[in-house]
Amino acid sequence: MTGANAATYSFTTQIQDNGAQFYCKVTDAKGASLTSNSAYLSLVAVENQLINNGSFEMGANGWSGTTSAIGTFSNQPAYDGSKLARLGGKGTANTSSIYQTITIPANVTSVPFSFALHIDSAETGSTAYDKLTVAVQNTAGTVLKTLATYSNVNKAAGYQIKSFDLAAYKGQNVRIVFSATEDSSMQTSFAIDKVSALPK
């Protein structure tokens, strides 16, 4: 690209770009040049993905609720990309939640649902002071099932992948809801990333 001098460039990929090799070559006015290492593009089909923006790289797009919890955080790296949802983490009494409504096809045998979760807490001991619930609701907000409840007791270094099956809700519109509650002291943050629901 003759005359290119911007710090970054972007492009839109097409399916025929799968496997393409990309590199950068810089040449100065005297003809001296420097070539970067090559990068190879690998495209993965995600046409069956029910979750919109599951890695939060498009910010709050597709999500409702406490969308201010979605972004980049200096003290909490993302599992995938640069953004995530971080519920809690305030160390004061508060509640926060994010949710997304999805339509589960009727003709499926399983709907693997997963997400990456990192729990960091200043709490100690075996009492669950701060909690995160992961639930399936109908579109009116009625809880159909609580898939899991996590707390400060479950804190761990790094992310852990949590997996469930949503096949019981095939043919329905449902909300996937992450809700956190903290008590009045000692923060617990629930970092969520890489949310996925892929029917089979």
pLDDT in tens, 7-66: 777 766 665 566 677 778 888 888 898 888 877 676 555 469 999 999 999 999 999 999
Residue 82 is assigned to a structural domain of this protein: yes
pLDDT > 80? residue 109: yes
pTM value?
Answer: 0.78
The pLDDT, as a whole number, for residue 70 is 98
How is residue 128 annotated by DSSP?
A: -
The pLDDT, as a whole number, for residue 133 is 98
Residue 178 is assigned to a structural domain of this protein: yes
Residue 57 is assigned to a structural domain of this protein: no
Residue 5 is assigned to a structural domain of this protein: no
pLDDT > 60? residue 187: yes
Residue 182 is assigned to a structural domain of this protein: yes
Residue 10 is assigned to a structural domain of this protein: no
Distance CA 104, CA 41 (A): 31
- Which among 102, 97, 100, 134 has a CA at the least distance from the CA of 117? 134
The pLDDT, as a whole number, for residue 24 is 81
- For residue 135, the enclosing domain spans 64-197
**CATH code, domain with 173:** 2.60.120.260
pLDDT in tens, 148-160: 999 999 999 999 9
Range list of H helices, 34-137: none
pLDDT in tens, 132-184: 999 999 999 999 999 999 999 999 999 999 999 999 999 999 999 999 999 99
The pLDDT, as a whole number, for residue 23 is 77
**Number of domains observed in the structure of the chain:** 1
